[in-house]
Amino acid sequence: MGPESRVLPVEASTIPELVDAAAERFGDLEAVVDGDLRWSFSEYRDEAHRVAEALIRRGIQPGDRVAVWAPNSAGWAATALGIHCAGGVLVPLNTRLGGGDVAGLLDRTSARLLFTVTDFRDTDYVAMLAGAGGAGTVEETVVMSGPTPAACTRWEAFVTEADRPDLSERTGLVSADDLCHILFTSGTTGTPKGAMLRHGAVCRSYRAWGAAVGLREGDRYLAVSPFFHTFGLNGGILACLMSGTTLVPQAVFDPQVVADRVTEESITVLPGPPTIYRSLMDHLGGLPLATSTLRLAVTGAAPVSADLVGELHDQLGFETVLTGYGLTEASGVSTTCHHDDPPNLAATSSGRALPGIDLQVVGDDGLPMPTGEPGQVLLRGYNVMAGYLDDESGTTEAVDTDGWLRTGDTGVLDQAGNLTVTGRSTDMYICGGFNVYPAEVEAVLAAHPNIDQVVVVGAPDDRMGEVGMAFVIPTAGRHVGPSAVLSWAREELASHMAPRHVEVVDSLPTNPGGKVLRYQLRQVAAQITAG
């Protein structure tokens, strides 16, 4: 196998087209591995088509919304593709949500069917939803795993209703401009919003991304990022289809299970936030994997240090470590380092914009900032969402009349167009009249040898307006106290940037995509300073 990336042609501009093209191109190659289940690309297409036919028999029309509330699995992937082949709009739901939240989202999206489970982490999602009063729009609930209540349909029975159906008439109705997903934002700063994404946007975005990072036929991709997350869904399910890569869904991140699957399934690609790699290496106790076929690490969502990049090479055996930048409103990916970039680029930036995507950093006056100067990150291009679900004012606030998406992030561009994200503008706090960007403070504190992870948020202060509070996780086997952190900060940072408070913690609240829930930490900080 050569090093070149093999992806589907750009003419495949809808997900139903991708499903058919992948089956034709890769045929009997292994497409999905989930325990004892092993599907070829042809079998994968057939499973998706059976789901589509069953949906059509139930009256699902183009544009109807169908929800999936379940952990990663082969069935999840086939169901998602089947929804698209029926012309439906997929609504992925966060497995960490409670029944009341899910009921609200189902009603907001007018979802007609729900695919879920009754045995994930000892949780019966059907019972949880029923306990919250159910969802008025859902006509049928399909149970993908676990005991099936009498009022529900077992997934295996659902998908065996059709055998190799001809869906060409229905799939031919799907266009590049049609909605494919309603994905709810990660909610790191508050209430999730439903970003509406289009077929053409996600297909073009992940074709370009796959080519940039070097995803290729024969790769074996361990999908740790949840499929309800924009990157887990598109960078996992769709990118693997495009490149002839074997998808290996992982329901829950467990370091030992992941280490075993890397060995057992000869995994070559393991994307995820920095936290998963750190957890895996901590579990291994500094020792390398017994055997490693790992080739490509793709990360983001948090700063990546040069030390981490080195450890990924040395301890886990990765040949290539790449970073990228994206958000749900921009189909999950906008910039990336490339597989042939200098190795140190991943530790200093999130790479450059994908072809056809405009990127700029502007000041408060809306004018572009000089190279190397920080400002607000704006994006424009085919990957930008169609808008927020039933939220015109929110859409107008996020996307201006010229099509620029206000990302809410701050960053700098270098001469080559590589983006370094310095923080979220909403994370910024003002201490004594000075703007403080937490990412800058975190980078300095993270250099302390006894600090593994650190997050800084603003906390109310009667005198200064706001001051920094650092939540610190010590390096495994080491101790660090608040006084040591404060002393380090005062030596290394300007006075307005140095945190005034330090909390040493065992863990940080995160969403399933690995992003730290800063709004929760701000609430904790406010309570501590008030008390």
Domains in the chain, number? 3
Q: Which residue, 174, 199, 223, sits at the end of a domain? A: 174
Contact 85, 19 (CB under 8 A): yes
Contact 22, 31 (CB under 8 A): yes
Query: Quick check: 5 pLDDT over 50?
Result: no
Type of residue numbered 480: V
Q: Exposed, middle or buried: residue 242 (CB in 10 Å: 0-12, 13-18, 19+)?
A: buried
Nearest Cα neighbor of 301 from 270, 325, 332 is 325
Q: Say yes or no: 62 and 104 in one domain.
A: yes
Query: Quick check: 326 pLDDT over 60?
Result: yes
Contact 315, 307 (CB under 8 A): no
Angle at CA of residue 265, ends 259 and 270, nearest 5°: 60
Work out whether strand 375-381 and strand 465-474 pair parallel, antiparallel, or are unpaired.
unpaired
Q: Say yes or no: 420 and 433 in one domain.
A: no
- Looking at the DSSP bridge assignments, the partners of residue 504 are 472
Q: Say yes or no: 435 and 468 in one domain.
A: yes
Given pLDDT bands bounded at 50, 70 and 90, which one contains residue 437?
confident
Q: Say yes or no: 405 and 444 in one domain.
A: no
**39 in helix, strand or coil?**
strand
Nearest Cα neighbor of 371 from 340, 414, 420, 342 is 414
Question: What is the distance between the alpha carbons of residues 266 and 60, in angstroms, rounded to a whole number?
Answer: 39
Torsions phi, psi of 413, nearest 5? -115, 140
Nearest Cα neighbor of 278 from 441, 448, 451 is 451
> Is 17 within the bounds of a domain?
no
Give me the domain span that covers residue 496.
429-530
Q: Say yes or no: 404 and 438 in one domain.
A: no
**155 in helix, strand or coil?**
helix
* Size (the chain), residues: 531
CATH number of the domain that residue 216 is part of: 3.40.50.12780
Query: Quick check: 135 pLDDT over 90?
Result: no
Contact 350, 418 (CB under 8 A): yes
Question: What is the distance between the alpha carbons of residues 65 and 87, in angstroms, rounded to a whole number?
Answer: 9
Q: Say yes or no: 318 and 411 in one domain.
A: yes
**DSSP per-residue string spanning 499-525:** -SEEEE-S---B-TTS-B-HHHHHHHH
Average pLDDT over residues 61-66: 98
Query: Quick check: 433 pLDDT over 90?
Result: no
Model-wide pTM > 0.75: yes
User: pLDDT tens, 467-500?
Assistant: 999 999 999 889 999 999 999 999 998 888 999 9
> Is 180 within the bounds of a domain?
no
Contact 460, 500 (CB under 8 A): no
Torsions phi, psi of 30, nearest 5? -70, 125
- Looking at the DSSP bridge assignments, the partners of residue 471 are 455, 503
- pLDDT at residue number 96: 83
Would you tell me how many other CB atoms lie within 10 Å of the CB of residue 124?
18
* Angle, in degrees to the nearest 10, between helices 41-57 and 15-26: 150
Average pLDDT over residues 245-256: 95
> Is 188 within the bounds of a domain?
no
CATH number of the domain that residue 510 is part of: 3.30.300.30
Would you tell me how many other CB atoms lie within 10 Å of the CB of residue 119?
14
- pLDDT at residue number 303: 62
Torsions phi, psi of 183, nearest 5? -110, 130
Q: Which residue, 408, 424, 440, sits at the end of a domain? A: 424
Question: What is the distance between the alpha carbons of residues 302 and 515, in angstroms, rounded to a whole number?
Answer: 7
Angle at CA of residue 242, ends 238 and 246, nearest 5°: 80
Average pLDDT over residues 502-525: 89
N-terminal to C-terminal alpha carbon distance within the chain: 62
Q: Say yes or no: 404 and 314 in one domain.
A: yes
* Angle, in degrees to the nearest 10, between helices 74-85 and 41-57: 60
Work out whether strand 140-143 and strand 37-40 pair parallel, antiparallel, or are unpaired.
unpaired
**466 in helix, strand or coil?**
strand
Q: Which residue, 128, 156, 174, sits at the end of a domain? A: 174
Would you tell me how many other CB atoms lie within 10 Å of the CB of residue 414?
14
Q: Say yes or no: 402 and 305 in one domain.
A: yes
Region for residue 318 given its phi and psi (left: phi exceeds 0; alpha: psi -120 to 50; beta: otherwise): beta
> Is 509 within the bounds of a domain?
yes
> Is 125 within the bounds of a domain?
yes
- pLDDT at residue number 216: 93
- pLDDT at residue number 162: 63
Q: Say yes or no: 233 and 340 in one domain.
A: yes
Q: Say yes or no: 245 and 385 in one domain.
A: yes
Torsions phi, psi of 294, nearest 5? -60, 130
> Is 9 within the bounds of a domain?
no
Q: Say yes or no: 419 and 456 in one domain.
A: no
Average pLDDT over residues 163-182: 89
CATH number of the domain that residue 168 is part of: 3.40.50.980
